Structure 1
Amino acid sequence: LKHIKEASYTVVLDIKGKMLASEELADKLQSLGVTGNSNVVFIIGGSLGVSDQVLQKADYRLSFSPMTFPHQLMRLILLEQTYRGFRIVKGEPYHK
């Protein structure tokens, strides 16, 4: 947490967070850019979740599923969904 800049918008991946469709995530990413939040930090917890201290740091809690995924797989899912979100924002085609 000490490496996260104060001005960063912190998104914690949390099983109890809000689940979004790809289009909703695209809207969220676009609104962050429009409001000047250019430094977005994603925190991926372990299989037991994240500490209360990390949750308190969160500006937004996001869930991709009620299931638990391996940490490395979650990084890939997050990358793919972020890429897909920016494709949606730009009006470019993406695979459904």
Structure 2
Amino acid sequence: MKIKILTVGKLKEDYLKKGIAEYVKRLHRFASVAMIEVADEKTPEKASEVENQQIMAKEAERLQGKIGDRDYVVVLAIEGKQLPSEDFAKKLEQAKNSGHGTLTFIIGGSLGLDPAIKKRANLMLSFGLLTLPHQLMRLVLVEQVYRAMMISAGSAYHK
């Protein structure tokens, strides 16, 4: 199985890079993992709604080029579905067993994600109503994916 984590913007903080690297290393026992960053667009300080939509559309074009036709796509969005860890593990297991060779997770930029990306999602997922920095969300995501894999493997990690 392959896992792709697509994100808008570059990760800057070393402590987040180290945490993500640790969970990616742990995930390698279950899947190959690719962390793929696409460039974010500069957002003017007082951008209009039209400008914001144009920015998200440009970022969406970059993301779409990284999504395979047969990928199982999980989009992180605040309006997405909230799942307990066990149900998240079941969803990923079902995706794997239904012929999707790649699980693709997408984290948008500071403005969020274009509707075209959300429409492509097999699952829109929310980790709660709190707003978290997009860079921190990467660490939360890789830990939760690792947790889901450990649950599926019957490990005591989740307890």
The counterpart of 1:33, out of the listed 87, 96, 111, is 96
Secondary structure in 2 matching 1:94: helix
Partner of 1:2: 65
Paired positions, count: 96
The counterpart of 1:13, out of the listed 58, 76, 86, is 76
Q: Structure 1 residue 48: deviation in Å?
A: 2.8
RMSD of Structure 2 on Structure 1 (CA): 1.2
More divergent stretch after superposition (2-11 vs 75-84): 2-11
The counterpart of 1:43, out of the listed 106, 131, 136, is 106
The counterpart of 2:126, out of the listed 63, 66, 69, is 63
Cα distance in structure 2, aligned partners of 1:45 and 1:3: 13
The AA in structure 2 aligned to 1:23 is: E
Gaps of 5+ in 1: none
- Aligned-pair identity in percent equals 47
Q: Structure 1 residue 68: deviation in Å?
A: 1.2
Confirm or deny: 8 A CA contact 1:47 1:69 kept in the other structure.
no
Confirm or deny: 8 A CA contact 1:8 1:37 kept in the other structure.
yes
Please give the TM-score of this superposition, normalised by the length of structure 1: 0.92
Confirm or deny: 8 A CA contact 2:151 2:158 kept in the other structure.
no
Q: Structure 1 residue 56: deviation in Å?
A: 1.4
The AA in structure 2 aligned to 1:89 is: S
More divergent stretch after superposition (38-47 vs 83-92): 38-47
Confirm or deny: 8 A CA contact 2:72 2:104 kept in the other structure.
yes
User: Where is the helix percentage greater, Structure 1 or Structure 2?
Assistant: 2
Q: Structure 1 residue 47: deviation in Å?
A: 3.4
Please give the TM-score of this superposition, normalised by the length of structure 2: 0.57
Cα distance in structure 2, aligned partners of 1:24 and 1:95: 13
Partner of 1:79: 142
Deviant stretches of 4+, over 4 Å? none
Gaps of 5+ in 2: 1-63
Higher relative contact order (CA 8 A, sep 6+): 1
Kindly name which structure, 1 or 2, has the bigger radius of gyration based on alpha carbons.
2
